[in-house]
Amino acid sequence: MGAATKLAFAVFLISCSSAGSILGRSETKECIYYNANWEKDKTNSNGTEICYGDNDKRKHCFATWKNISGSIEIVKQGCWLDDINCYNKSKCTEKKDSPDVFFCCCEGNYCNEKFYHSPEMEVTQPTSNPVTTKPPLFNTLLYSLVPIMVVAVIVLFSFWMYRHHKLAYPPVLVPTQDPGPPPPSPLLGLKPLQLLEVKARGRFGCVWKAQLLNETVAVKIFPVQDKLSWQNEYEIYSLPGMKHENILYFIGAEKRGTNLDTDLWLITAFHEKGSLTDYLKANVVSWNELCLIAETMARGLSHLHEDIPGLKDGHKPAVAHRDIKSKNVLLKNNLTACIADFGLALKFEAGKSAGDTHGQVGTRRYMAPEVLEGAINFQRDAFLRIDMYAFGLVLWELASRCTASDGPVDEYMLPFEEEVGQHPSLEDMQEVVVHKKKRPILRECWQKHAGMAMLCETIEECWDHDAEARLSAGCVEERIIQMQKLTNIITTEDIVTVVTMVTNVDFPPKESSL
């Protein structure tokens, strides 16, 4: 074997040895734990934390801290999820120059006990390099190493692409930039936020399941071209009186990126059961479950529609949602509902313009007749009645999947899916709803259950062609409470009594109270 060949073989062995060391890693099982906000979060203040997670995913330690005039204040230390930015780092080191909140992660037990700030410096090259003659073996080494390097680059690039698509966004601190308006929660900026998986896609972007320290949250990401929708939703959530158990809980808003790469984020509570649409596709509901969902949904919409002066945080104006549908109703674990998605909402404040009151907005199959005709009275009550028409259709969706009546339960269908299919045009909806005055079918077997019969009457009064005859959300809430009370006393022995009670029951007034 020649000298040149021996040298090339030695280089190959060294390369393989280096690759082996790169693939090796320290297993992280425990980390130093600290929480500056332990009293509020109801956790321990310090100690150690055992790292849990899937066996095929790597675990790390992390630390966040602040440097206030040279004084170090630790914010949080603990375990961190599988993150390519932490791979093979034995020391917990922040590389950014001067962030508001410092963040580092590492691999190895208790590697976050000590943390460092070592900003990356630009290396300046000398203006001239001395010319060196190429060694005689240069060509041999070149031809030997090039194939190995090409293969290594392809493998590393493929691995990076896999991780990139899996994580989609690297975990960063919240917020990285000023979102325009001040952040609603000053604590948000102290917490690292990590996106986990896409849960839904819609007209204005996608919704991610994410982790904010030990809390699971939802992150709705808008592209920059939908800035107005993001801004509007942020403003609606920030109104006085918008914290309500049946309105989706809002945590924060911010911008990510720069210029054309900017994404706009809304961070809210996360509900594992997802939307009412998703739930009804996979499940049927009992009469009591229907009443619980419908009552809490009506309560949330009633609060949204209400003008409430004199609250601690100010005057809550009436708000019209303008895109009520089962996709925008989320279910909590206890099956209570909360209203979400305020990108098209309008607020009505005395002496102020309601903003863009363009009539034909929302989802076509849920549009009221006056919206489809383009014949809206641009007053507050007119917009609230449009919400109530759509609310009637959502009640019909609930009724269609209820097991209360003796008849078969239909497969889940969207309103008017039998009449116009899954992707109706505006003209399709105008023909069915405005000209033929059709509504989704109320099954005959539903009338045999006293509660379902009352619900059908309520649905018809919500989707009445005459907008002024529609019920208010508050009236619907009261009716559902009465329905449930009435049906709770029904037994098989007193059907005759129940029929008499149904005939004589005093409903809240039929007229709209808007």
Binding-site residue positions for ATP: 199-207, 220
Q: Identify any residues that bridge with 330 across adjacent strands, giving them in sequence order.
A: 275, 338
> What is the distance of C-alpha 231 from the center of its chain?
16
Give me the catalytic one of 83, 323, 381, 464: 323
The first and second tokens of residue 16, run together, are: 């393989």
Tokens representing 386? 């449009």
Q: Is 442 helix (H, G, I), strand (E, B) or coil?
A: coil
- Summary count for the chain: helices (H), strands (E): 13, 19
Nearest of 323, 300, 372, 338 to residue 204 by alpha carbon: 323
Whether 445 and 458 have beta carbons less than 8 Å apart is answered as no
Q: Which residue ranges are tagged as binding site?
A: 199-207, 220
Q: Could you tell me which residues come within 8 angstroms of residue 190 by beta carbon, excluding any fewer than 6 positions away? A: 36, 37, 64, 66, 75, 76, 101
Angle 473-488/380-400 helices, nearest 10 degrees?
A: 30
Q: Is residue 323 flagged as an active site residue?
A: yes
Could you tell me which of 349, 389, 344 has the C-alpha nearest to residue 370? 389
If DSSP codes are grouped into helix, strand and coil, which group holds residue 205? strand
Torsions phi, psi of 29, nearest 5? -115, -30
Angle at 73 between CA 67 and CA 74, to 5 degrees: 120
DSSP 112-136: TSSEEE----PPPPPS-----PPPT
Take residue 468 and report the two structure tokens written for it.
């002024």
Which residues pair with residue 102 across a beta bridge? 65
Distance CA 450, CA 435 (A): 32
Distances from the Cα of 443 to the Cα of 98, 236, 446, angstroms:
65, 38, 6
**Burial class, 487, CB count within 10 angstroms (exposed 0-12 / middle 13-18 / buried 19+):** buried
Whether 64 contacts 192, CB under 8 Å: yes
Query: Which of the residues are catalytic?
Result: 323
